[in-house]
């Protein structure tokens, strides 16, 4: 594996195979961003979600999927035209991976694809680990999903960020108030395979701890798009607080903690999770 990947790996404090596996996924994500940037993708789209928050703002949890949004609605947009750019960048740093579209089962505004490669092969390349690596089957597939919203809600605001590795490139992403709006929508509305996605609640606390402002116009449009808000009623801080309090009262926080545990290094940070904890934090945040 090239020195570029070794340099990228050096920022991770890997102590075991699970740490290396997570670091590998995140390095592949950053290489893919570079490939998208070189292919001109960010002239039309922006990066958002938990992975964007981790890479550019320092969210302290691992993340899996890569989420993007077009800057304006375009149902004719084809994500697949950027696959070659992603694959060329991956190959240039030594990753043997394929990029393939996911077949849509219904008419959806979300297009998605997967980057796939052999996990064991890449772990052995990025670090001199002795075979067999505990807990990593020979045929385990490293799979990273990325998806793009081709009919995005209005009023998101954006900013440009620069990265130096694997080579200098620019990424356009949602700014923090718009990222927070997206996360609040997920906290309020997302069901995930019939269970709570605890990562949403972990990220919510991160935003609150940073005293992040909310892009209310964008949040309202997201809620309207999913049928969770009446467009004639203007969303404000007090109404948002009420929505959050109602939502927290329905959450099984023991299950939420189980979801987020594999993605964090400090399980003790979840000790206080409860309806009372989230409601109290929210009441103090939204005065």
Indicate the helix (H) or strand (E) that contains 282. Answer: helix 275-285
The reported pLDDT for the residue numbered 58 is: 93
- Confidence band of 108 (pLDDT split at 50, 70, 90): confident
pLDDT exceeds 60 at position 33:
yes
DSSP state of 93: T
Q: What is the pLDDT of residues 54-105, one digit of tens each?
A: 999 999 999 989 999 999 999 899 999 999 999 999 999 999 999 999 876 6
| E strands, the chain, in order | 45-48, 66-70, 98-101, 110-118, 141-149, 158-163, 169-174
Return the pLDDT at 144: 95
Give me the percent of the chain exceeding a pLDDT of 70.
94
Instruction: Indicate whether 43 pLDDT > 80.
Output: yes
Tell how far CA 81 is from the center of its chain: 22
pLDDT in tens, 117-174: 999 888 887 765 445 466 678 888 999 999 999 999 999 999 999 999 999 999 999 9
End-to-end CA distance of the chain: 52
Q: Render pLDDT for 190-207 as a digit per residue (tens, 0 to 9).
A: 875 567 899 999 999 999
Q: Is 44 exposed, middle or buried (0-12, 13-18, 19+ CB in 10 A)?
A: middle
Question: Residues 287, 53, 199, 123: what is their CA dihedral angle, to the nearest 10 degrees?
Answer: -160
């Amino acid at each position: 594996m090239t020195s570029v990947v070794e340099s990228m790996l050096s920022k991770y404090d890997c102590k075991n195979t699970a740490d290396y596996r997570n670091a590998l996924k995140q390095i592949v994500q950053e290489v893919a961003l570079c490939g998208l940037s070189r292919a001109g993708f960010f002239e039309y789209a922006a990066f958002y979600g938990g992975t964007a928050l981790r890479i550019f703002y320092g969210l302290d949890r691992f993340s899996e999927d890569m989420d993007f949004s077009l800057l304006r609605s375009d149902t004719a947009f084809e994500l697949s035209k950027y696959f070659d750019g992603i694959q060329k960048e991956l190959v240039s740093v030594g990753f043997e991976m394929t990029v393939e579209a996911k077949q849509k089962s219904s008419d959806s505004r979300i297009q998605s694809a997967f980057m796939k490669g052999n996990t064991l092969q890449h772990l052995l390349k990025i670090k001199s680990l002795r075979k067999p690596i505990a807990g990593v089957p020979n045929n385990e597939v490293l799979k990273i999903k990325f998806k793009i919203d081709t009919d995005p809600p209005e009023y998101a605001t954006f900013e440009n960020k620069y990265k130096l590795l694997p080579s200098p490139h620019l990424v356009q992403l949602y700014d923090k108030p718009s990222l927070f709006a997206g996360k609040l929508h997920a906290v309020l509305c997302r069901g995930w395979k019939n269970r709570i996605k605890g990562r949403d609640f972990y990220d919510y606390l991160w935003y609150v701890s940073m005293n992040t402002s909310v892009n209310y116009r964008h949040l309202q449009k997201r809620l309207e798009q999913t049928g969770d808000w009446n467009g004639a009623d203007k969303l404000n801080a007090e109404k948002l607080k009420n929505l959050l309090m109602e939502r927290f009262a329905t959450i099984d926080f023991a299950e939420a903690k189980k979801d987020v545990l594999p993605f964090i290094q400090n399980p003790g940070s979840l000790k206080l999770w409860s309806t009372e904890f989230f409601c109290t934090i929210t009441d103090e945040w939204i005065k």
